[in-house]
Each structure stands twice: as C-alpha cells, then as structure tokens.
Amino acid sequence: MNQPGLETGAAPDQAPLDALGQRQLEVRRQMEAEELSQDLQEVRQAGQDPAGLPSATAARAQLAQAGEGQTQQTQQTQQAQQAQQAQQAQQAQQAQQAQQAQQAQQAQQTQQSNASLQRQQALQAESGEERLQAQRADGVRSDAQRSDAQRIEGDRQAGLQDAARVEDLRQGGLRQAQLQQSRLEEQAQVAADEAIRAQLAADDAQMVARAASERTQSLARTEQLQADQGLAATAQAQLAQQNAQAQELAAQNAGMAVPPPSSQDPSVAAAIAAYNLNNAALNPGLMNRPLPAADSRLPLVAPVAPVEPVKPVNKI
C-alpha cells in the first residue's frame, strides 16, 4: 500500500508532512489495524477447524509477515519524520539525511509492495463480503481524504481572502492619507494665497493712504501758498490805499483837486489785483464758476471813493 505522506522526504528541499499527509497516515494505520484484526479473527476461526489447519498456519504466517512489515513500515515512517525534523534543524546534514530518507523510502516501498502482494494473495482467498468491506473501507478512506483536501483548500482560500482584505484595507488607508495630505496642502496653499492677497490689499491701502496724504499735503501747501499770496496782496493793497490816502491828504494840503480813480492809476490797479487775489485765496471754488444772472452787471472790484488825480510825492 502506497503512503504519499512519506514521499516528502525524497528531495532535500521539500517541506515536512502537512496536515493532509498526517490525516492520510492515520486513516491508513486505522484501516490496516482493522484488516489485521479481521485476518486474526479469520485465523482463529480457521484454527478451530482441524481440516483447515494448513491454511490457517499459512494465513498466520502471512499475517505475521504483514505485521512485521507494518511494524517496519511504522518504524521507517518515524525515522523519515525524524530525518525531516533533523533536516530542518541542521542544514549542514541536509543532504545526508535526505539520502537516508530516500533509502528508507525505497526499502519501505519494497516492503509495501511485498505486503501489498501478500494482502492481494490473502484477499483472493477471502469471500465477496470481505471484498465489499474492503471496498467500503477504501471508499471511506477516499471520502476522508477528499474532505480533508477540501477543508485544506477552504482554509487556503480563506487565508488568501483575509490577505486580500488586509491589503485592501492598507490601500484604503494609504489613499485616505494621501487625500488628507492633498487637502492639507490645498488648505495651506489657499491660506498662503489669502495672506498674499491680504498683503497686496494692505499695500494698496497703504499706497492709497500715502497718495491721499500727499494730495492732502499738496492741497494744504497750495492753500497755504494762496493764503500767503492773498495776505501779501492784502498788505500791498493796504499799502497802496495808505499811499493813496497820503497822496490825497497831501493833495488836500496842497489845495489841489483830486481826479476820480481810474484803472490806469497804478494804485487802483494794485488794489483791484489785491482784491481779486484775496477772493481767490479765500474762495478758490468761485474762480471758475460763472456769475449768476443777477450779479452779471455788478462790478468785479470793490468800489473806490472818487479822488482827484494828484501828482506823485517824494515823501509821505
């Protein structure tokens, strides 16, 4: 009878017996023990019949040989397992142990073939009921092997599914981390853009404020200049008026007639210019505004009292 569980020791680099091989080995041992018990029972039954003594003796001898072969097979199986364990523990002696396991396997196969031949010879003498029981036992053994193979395959598939599920979870975690990193980078970029825009807005506001301040200062300087010019013109007008009054007084003292003021008179022209400059300094918005219809005929200068033309004097 072949034992696939022992073929793993044929090559040095093969793995030890797996769960399926152990299960097959146990089932075979159980079946062989049942066959031996059946053979012993038949031998006992045959031993009670004197006429069947030679056949019982031959059957007993065959059973003894089969038991010896089974014992040797069990010992060889244990040796192969020990050789495999020693092969894993000591890599330096791996080749030698593999050779011993191969020799043991060859001897075991030889003994198995002999035992199988003996069992076949014994089975030829058995009845149809025993063949049916053997077939049933083979069917049970095949079913057990098939169920074990299916269970192992199911465990392997479940392990593959678990590994795939773990890989999917890991990939999902990586994608989530990348998405979160992208969001953080986008938020940082948006914040940087907002800061740049705020800085630009602050710069624009500062430039606008600086321009407004400069315009205000320019307007203030212009108004101050106009006010200074108005004050200077007012002082000049006052000086011209004082000169005119002095001239009038001098003319009165001299008994001369004073002609009415004329725009050709330098003092009158100076007074008109001073008055216009004063109005321009005090009311700059009125310079370019047209006069109302009611005031269009009014004089543009203040009225001056009529005076007699006088001669210029050297001293006032």
DSSP 179-232: HHHHHHHHHHHHHHHHHHHHHHHHHHHHHHHHHHHHHHHHHHHHHHHHHHHHHH
Range of the domain at 55: 4-177
pLDDT in tens, 29-73: 888 888 877 877 776 776 554 444 445 565 566 666 666 666 677
Q: For 287, which DSSP code?
A: S
Q: What are phi and psi of 247, to 5 degrees?
A: -65, -40
What is the pLDDT at residue 97? 67
Does a structural domain hold residue 265?
no
Q: How confident is the model at residue 2 (pLDDT cuts 50, 70, 90)?
A: very low
Does a structural domain hold residue 304?
no
Q: What is the total count of domains within the chain?
A: 1
Sign, CA dihedral 165-171-175-176, equals positive
Distance between CA 106 and CA 7 in Å, rounded?
A: 10
Does a structural domain hold residue 119?
yes
Does a structural domain hold residue 192?
no
Does a structural domain hold residue 268?
no
b/e burial code for range 46-80 (CB count within 10 A of at least 16 → b): beeeeeeeeebeebbebbeebeebbeebeebbebb
Look up the pTM and report it: 0.26
The share of the chain scoring above pLDDT 70, in percent, equals 57
Q: Which residue has better confidence, 261 or 17?
A: 261
What is the pLDDT at residue 91? 64
Q: How confident is the model at residue 4 (pLDDT cuts 50, 70, 90)?
A: very low
Distance between CA 191 and CA 178 in Å, rounded?
A: 20
Does a structural domain hold residue 76?
yes
Does a structural domain hold residue 73?
yes
